[in-house]
Amino acid sequence: MTVLPRPAARARPTMNDVAREADVALKTVSRYVNGEQNINAAMAERIADAIARLGYRRNLSAASLRPGRSSRTVGLVISDLANPHWAALARGAERAATDRGYLLVTGSSEEDGARHDALVDRMLDQRLDGLVVVPPREPGRPWSALVPPVPPVVFVDRPLDTPGAHAILADDRDGARAAVASLVRAGARRVALVGDSWLIPAMAARREGYRDALADAGLPDDPALQHDGAHSLTQAQELVAGLLGTPAGGAPPVDAVFAANNRASLGALHAFRDAGRRLPLVGFDDFEAATLLDPPVSVVAQDVGGMGAAAVHLLLDLLGGTADVPSRVVVPTTLHLRGSERP
């Protein structure tokens, strides 16, 4: 029995093949494919036929080779796609990209500078048209270290370390302030702040808002109440479990918790469940099960999907040279009081 060689995968037809088949010049096919107007109707029809007959597909990658031509692809670097917060951001970004004919490349940095930088490098080498970036907690190389020309970048949740950098930010400070104020209004006097590293600009801003609310109420700003070690749900859970225990040295106990992101909220809720005892709680960032719990969890909601979409729209406007592109967009937050802020 003879083994036939596997037939060589037929190569895709090229524009040249179409031109030959339709008996027109290459350039005419190019014009047709690009939707240019000035084409003889008869030729257009011959070309359409040839394309159908050959099963021709345009090679966008080749089309974008020439400098100045866009690849219609943008990149998004976040910390972790599996976190519903970032997934919502990515979804918003993706929708905006698709709506405008772009493809979205995503990557998770896992809050690691080196990983983040590697993703950015890879995306730059791929010649994506632009990037939406959420810088990692552990910063790697400064953005300014990149040798220009660098494609446009829109930062989310981050300070502007590059002059003229564009950014989409939530009104973290104001949201946190409203959250903590609601706890104080419900009677809390010693509100614990459970957050991720202060190196994260959004976190630092939320701490400011926390302090604002305390100051507004004439309460002391006690650093011992402010925790920035909740990098994960588990760490937040352990941290809050500690808060529920008897404080060392006879310090007065914590009487409420402000969870500065959705991991912290869930961690606190796990700790409450484990201890069989809960403290008044308000979280930053809404989460799916917030209204299912008893009591329902109060949160400061931000339109995360909207922020992702806004970032991509801003990026594409930048690319398109649209005039008057704002360099900084601050998105408001909304406080949803559902009951968990009360003792």
Partner DNA sequence: CTGAAAGCGCTAACAG
Partner DNA sequence: CTGTTAGCGCTTTCAG
201 is an interface residue for its own copies by CB under 8 A: no
15 binds, among DNA, its own copies, none (CB under 5 to 8 A by kind): DNA
302 is an interface residue for its own copies by CB under 8 A: no
- Tokens, residue 306: 């909207």
Our CA dihedral for 145, 147, 149, 152, rounded to 10 degrees, sits at -20
71 binds, among DNA, its own copies, none (CB under 5 to 8 A by kind): its own copies
Contact residue for its own copies among 30, 71, 232, 235 (CB under 8 A) = 71
Residues 6+ away with beta carbon under 8 Å from 75:
104, 105, 106, 107, 119, 120, 123, 126, 128, 130, 131, 132
Distance (Å, whole) CA 269 – CA 258: 12
Stretch binding its own copies (CB under 8 A), from 172-180, 199-207, 246-254, 268-276: 268-276
End-to-end C-alpha distance for the chain, whole angstroms: 82
Residues 6+ away with beta carbon under 8 Å from 299:
179, 265, 282, 283, 284, 285, 286, 287, 290, 335, 336, 338
Contact residue for its own copies among 23, 27, 49, 60 (CB under 8 A) = 60
Q: Kindly report each contact of residues 54-62 with a partner whose C-beta sits within 8 Å and lies 24 or more positions away, as own/partner.
A: 54/13, 54/17, 54/18, 54/21, 55/13, 56/12, 56/13, 56/14, 56/15, 56/17, 56/18, 57/12, 58/15, 58/33, 59/12, 59/14
One symbol per residue from 102 to 131: x for binding its own copies (CB under 8 A), - otherwise; what is it? -xxxxxx----------x--xxxxxx----
39 binds, among DNA, its own copies, none (CB under 5 to 8 A by kind): DNA
294 is an interface residue for its own copies by CB under 8 A: yes
- Contact footprint for DNA (CB under 7 A): 11-12, 14-16, 24-28, 30-31, 33-34, 38-40, 43, 58-59, 62-63, 65-69
β-partners of residue 154 are: 132, 166
Contact residue for its own copies among 4, 37, 42, 149 (CB under 8 A) = 149
The least CB distance from residue 151 to DNA, in Å, is 14
144 is an interface residue for its own copies by CB under 8 A: no
3-state secondary structure of 153: strand
Q: Which amino acid is at 48?
A: A
The least CB distance from residue 60 to its own copies, in Å, is 5
How many residues line the site for its own copies (CB under 8 A)? 55
95 is an interface residue for its own copies by CB under 8 A: yes
Contact residue for its own copies among 16, 40, 234, 291 (CB under 8 A) = 291
Contact residue for its own copies among 289, 295, 332, 334 (CB under 8 A) = 289
- Tokens, residue 133: 């970036």
Best CA proximity match to 285, nearest among 310, 302, 309? 302
3-state secondary structure of 74: strand
Please, which residue, 276 or 321, has the CB nearer to DNA?
Answer: 321
270 is an interface residue for its own copies by CB under 8 A: yes
Q: Which residues bind its own copies (CB under 8 A)?
A: 9-12, 55, 57-62, 64-65, 67, 71, 73, 80-82, 84, 87-88, 90-91, 94-95, 98, 103-108, 119, 122-127, 147-149, 266, 269-270, 273, 287-289, 291-294, 305
